[in-house]
C-alpha cells in the first residue's frame, strides 16, 4: 500500500507528448493558440519546479513568519488576478471590497478549518497550512471573479429596470436584488457542480495525490470531504461579503445608479 512509484526525468518528459498532440490539433484546425499553449506549459513547469524547491525548504525549516508571508503573497496574487480577469474597469471602491472580501472570507475559513476541523499543531505548520490555503484561496478567487463579472454586467444589462424601481421608491438594495442574487448564484454554482460529480464522475486532485502517495483511500476520502466543505464555506463567505458590499458602489449618496466608473478596459 505504501509502494510509491517515483517518476524519473524520462517518464516525466514523456508526459509532454500530450502538449504536442494539442499543438498538432490546433495547427490542423487553424486555431491560433500555439503560442499560448507553449507559454502556459513552460510557465506551469517552471512555476511548479520552483514551488517544489521552495516548499522543501519551508517544510524543513518551519517558521510562522515564513508561512504568513507565503499566505500574504498568495492573497495578493489572487486579488490582482481577479482585477485582471474583469473586462470592465473597476472603481477603487469595489477593488477595496474585493480585497477585503477575499482576505476576510478566506482567512476566516482557513483558520477555522485548520484549528477546529484538523486541529494542527503548531498552527502555522506549512505542510498543512500552505496546500489547504492554496485550495481555499484559489477556489474563492474563481468564485469572486465570476461574481464581479456577473454583478457589473448585471448592473449594465438591468440598468433601466433598476432605475425604474428607484423612481418608484425602491431602495438600492431592493432595486438591485435580482442582480445581486444572480451574481451570487453564478459564482457559487461551479463549486456546487464539482461537489455533485465528485467521487462518481471524477476523483479530485487532492484525493488522487494522497492515494498515489500510499495513503488509504478511506483516509483520503475523509480529508477530501472536509476540504470540499471548507472550500464551499470559503467561497460562499467571500462571495456573500462581496455582493452585499459591492452593489452599494453602484449608487451614490442620493441612491442614484452610477456606471461611469465601470467602463470597458482599453
What are the residue ranges spanned by the domains of the chain?
1-61, 63-250
Q: Could you report the per-residue pLDDT of 7-46, keeping only the tens digit for each?
A: 788 988 999 999 999 999 998 988 888 899 999 999 999 9
- Based on its alpha-carbon atoms, the radius of gyration of the chain, rounded to whole angstroms, reads 22
What is the per-residue pLDDT for 265? Answer: 57
Cβ proximity of 228 and 195 under 8 Å: yes
Cα separations in angstroms, 61 against 5, 7, 73, 90, 249: 27, 26, 19, 40, 44
What is the per-residue pLDDT for 32? Answer: 86
What is the per-residue pLDDT for 111? Answer: 93
What is the per-residue pLDDT for 266? Answer: 47
Q: The whole model's pTM is what?
A: 0.83
Count of Cβ atoms closer than 10 Å to residue 39 Cβ: 10
What is the per-residue pLDDT for 88? Answer: 77
- Of the candidates 168, 233, 148, 147, the one whose C-alpha atom is nearest the C-alpha of residue 195 is 233
Interatomic CA distance for residues 79 and 247, integer angstroms: 18
Regions in the chain scoring below 70 on pLDDT: 1-5, 201-204, 206, 260-266
Amino acid at each position: 500500500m505504501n509502494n510509491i512509484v517515483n517518476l524519473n526525468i524520462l517518464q516525466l518528459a514523456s508526459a509532454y507528448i500530450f502538449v504536442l498532440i494539442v499543438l498538432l490539433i490546433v495547427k490542423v484546425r487553424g486555431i491560433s493558440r500555439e503560442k499560448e499553449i507553449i507559454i502556459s506549459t513552460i510557465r506551469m513547469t517552471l512555476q511548479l519546479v520552483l514551488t517544489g524547491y521552495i516548499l522543501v525548504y519551508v517544510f524543513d525549516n518551519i517558521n510562522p513568519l515564513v508561512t504568513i508571508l507565503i499566505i500574504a503573497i498568495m492573497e495578493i496574487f489572487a486579488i490582482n488576478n481577479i482585477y485582471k480577469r474583469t473586462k470592465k474597469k473597476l472603481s477603487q471602491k469595489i477593488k477595496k471590497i474585493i480585497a477585503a472580501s477575499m482576505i476576510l472570507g478566506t482567512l476566516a475559513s482557513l483558520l477555522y478549518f485548520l484549528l477546529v476541523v484538523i486541529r494542527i499543531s503548531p498552527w502555522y505548520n506549512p505542510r498543512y497550512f500552505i496546500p489547504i490555503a492554496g485550495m481555499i484561496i484559489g477556489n474563492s478567487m474563481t468564485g469572486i471573479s465570476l461574481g464581479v463579472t456577473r454583478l457589473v454586467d448585471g448592473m449594465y444589462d438591468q440598468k433601466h429596470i433598476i432605475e425604474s424601481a428607484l423612481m418608484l421608491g425602491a431602495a438600492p438594495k431592493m432595486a438591485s436584488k435580482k442582480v445581486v442574487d444572480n451574481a451570487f448564484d453564478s459564482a457559487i454554482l461551479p463549486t456546487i457542480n464539482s461537489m455533485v460529480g465528485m467521487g462518481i464522475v471524477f476523483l479530485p486532485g487532492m484525493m488522487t495525490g494522497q492515494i498515489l502517495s500510499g495513503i488509504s483511500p478511506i483516509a483520503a476520502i475523509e480529508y477530501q470531504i472536509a476540504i470540499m466543505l471548507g472550500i464551499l464555506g470559503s467561497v460562499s463567505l467571500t462571495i456573500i461579503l462581496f455582493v452585499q458590499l459591492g452593489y452599494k458602489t453602484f449608487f451614490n449618496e442620493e441612491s442614484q445608479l452610477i456606471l461611469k466608473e465601470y467602463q470597458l478596459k482599453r
